[in-house]
Amino acid sequence: LVIRATRIAAGVRIADNMPDETRLRAILSDENVRRLQDRLRAGGGMEGPTEQWTSEPPPGADPGHTTSFSIADHEGNFVCITQSLGSVFGSGVAVPGTGVLLNNFLYWADVQPGSPNLAKPGQPLAMCMAPSISTRDGEPCLALGTPGSYGILQTQAQALVSHLDFGLGLQTAIDAPRARLWDGRLVEIENRVAPEVLVALRE
């Protein structure tokens, strides 16, 4: 169910990566949510994009340059930061006196003709960073972030579902085996998943 929900959510995000306020209200409306729930429960195979409008990876894409950290103090303040260079040494430019490298994420911009997210002058760059702070009764209770390119949006959801819905301890939920969806119908599952579970998923 989580895998199907991830596929549906990716399609919604890609079709409306930066919706205006009116469109966002329509996406989050009860009517649209019920429609998505019906798709989720319908069963059967699903396919679609998971990253950008095009299945082509950004030129020069290079993994391993994203970090995330979460901090809470005794006064109840929470911070969750996810930072990425984009590729090796980012833009190759460091802020003088800091050693901090600037990223080169502009190369992730969607430049595919026909894409609803086609890069335009002055438009914010759609990004897959998703640091999160969860609240209970209006107060922060959990900060969670992760590296992983577009997998960030999948990893965090799976960890949160394991912790909040299935009651796993936070570290156990983070350490639990996960799946990564790719474009089309491909689902990559960690080899720590029990063989009988894989058989059931294939069915």
Q: Where are the domains of the chain?
A: 2-202
pLDDT of 83 higher than 90: no
Give the model confidence (pLDDT) of 25-52 as tens digits. Answer: 999 999 999 999 999 888 777 888 777 7
Burial environment of residue 21 by CB neighbours within 10 A (0 to 12, 13 to 18, 19 or more): exposed
Q: CATH homologous superfamily for 2-202?
A: Gamma-glutamyltranspeptidase, small (S) subunit (3.60.20.40)
How far apart CA 75 and CA 19 sit, in angstroms, is 36
Catalytic residue list? 66
Nearest CA-CA partner of 51 in 84, 7, 106: 7
Tell me what the pLDDT averaged over the chain comes to: 86
Burial environment of residue 6 by CB neighbours within 10 A (0 to 12, 13 to 18, 19 or more): buried
How far apart CA 128 and CA 122 sit, in angstroms, is 19
pLDDT of 138 higher than 60: yes
> pLDDT grade, residue 63 (50/70/90)?
low
Cβ proximity of 115 and 109 under 8 Å: no
pLDDT of 62 higher than 80: no
pLDDT, residue 167, reads 94
The CA distances from residue 54 to 75, 105, 150, 183, in Å, are 45, 17, 13, 9
Give the model confidence (pLDDT) of 178-198 as tens digits. Answer: 999 888 888 888 888 888 888
How far apart CA 117 and CA 14 sit, in angstroms, is 8
Cβ proximity of 176 and 182 under 8 Å: no
Cβ proximity of 177 and 189 under 8 Å: yes
pLDDT of 148 higher than 60: yes
